[in-house]
Amino acid sequence: MGIVGSGIMGAGVAEVAAKAGFEVVLRSRAQSSADALAAGLEKSLHRQVEKGKLDDAERRATLERLRVVTDLGELEACDLVLESVVEDLATKQHLFTELDRVCADGAILATNTSTLPVVDLAMQTGRPDRVCGIHFFNPAPAMALVEVVRAITTSDETVSAARSFAERCGKVVVDVRDQAGFIVNALLFPYLNNAVKLLEGNVATRDDIDAAMKGGCNFPMGPLELLDLVGLDTSLAILEALYAEFHDPNYAPAPLLRRLVSAERCGRKSGAGFYEYRR
């Protein structure tokens, strides 16, 4: 399989798929991010060996199954390509046009988008029946779920191949129609957004908002911590796409979220968001 994009999700899915036995070709635009990704994966697998979750032979075999490349043309032999680049429709559409040119006719082209219309990517290709969404959650190695997204154009064969792939990755699979937010983000993001609005309105402190949802609902992380994990830029893009689709005020991004993104405080990955992180 091929993966395009070396951000948090691309790296996480590469780890999951290579561990599950797939030969993975991961395409990153820059050699520096490709190198950083390979180093990050080695570190993650090494930690799992130290914890006794993985033996050393499996670690080596997993690394051997992963090839990091910068040339998109290297994906030509893949049966499935999953893109996980920035949540921007024009960027993804351009990529799908390129993937359609590079990949064999029978290959399935999938998107890890959270909210963008899968059909708008499918229609950039000459194979709209072989385009679907395969939506992993963050952090991909730790989260059980994958949403398989069926666009109006997607064939039953494509949905069933996407399901088999995700199941072989050890994930719980749900089917969902191509509507912004699918299941999880349609329900999760009004909650996350409203947490920012509570903070903005000085109703409670950051720490108390997070403590309340952990202690009161048994959530593993508070909403502000979770926004930092997902990435505030990604979260803003998700809310904008949801708002554009439904015009529901719960999806209208909280101004503070937008201001933090403008200040390049995008969460864990940038060293600061609602919280500060040591890098």
Peptide bond into 139 cis (omega under 30): yes
Q: Are 88 and 234 in contact (CB under 8 A)?
A: no
Residues between 163 and 222 with contacts to ligand 3HC, criterion CB under 6 A: 185, 188, 220-221
Annotation says 185 is catalytic: yes
Sign of the dihedral defined by the CA atoms of residues 236, 84, 102, 119, in that order = negative
Annotation says 276 is catalytic: no
The length of the chain in residues reads: 279
Specify the residue, 125 or 234, whose C-beta has the smaller distance to ligand 3HC.
Answer: 234
Could you tell me which stretch among 63-71, 100-108, 140-148, 259-267 binds ligand 3HC (CB under 6 A)? 140-148
Q: How far is the CB of 44 from ligand 3HC (least distance, A)?
A: 6
Give the C-alpha distances (Å, rounded to integers) separating 218 from 120, 188, 192, 223, 227: 38, 15, 15, 12, 17
CB atoms within 10 A of CB 183: 16
Of the candidate residues 36, 42, 44, 191, the single one contacting ligand 3HC (CB under 6 A):
44
Specify the residue, 79 or 139, whose C-beta has the smaller distance to ligand 3HC.
Answer: 139
Annotation says 147 is catalytic: yes
Q: Taking the chain, what is the end-to-end CA distance rounded to the nearest angstrom?
A: 31
Q: How far is the CB of 210 from ligand 3HC (least distance, A)?
A: 12
Specify the residue, 31 or 194, whose C-beta has the smaller distance to ligand 3HC.
Answer: 194
Could you tell me which stretch among 68-76, 131-139, 166-174, 242-250 binds ligand 3HC (CB under 6 A)? 131-139
Of the candidate residues 70, 93, 97, 138, the single one contacting ligand 3HC (CB under 6 A):
138
Give the C-alpha distances (Å, rounded to integers) separating 182 from 41, 64, 124: 29, 34, 21
Q: How far apart are CA 238 and CA 253, in angstroms?
A: 9
Residue ranges binding ligand 3HC (CB under 6 A)? 44, 51, 53, 114, 137-139, 141-143, 185, 188, 220-221, 226, 230, 234
Q: Which residues are catalytic?
A: 114, 135, 147, 185
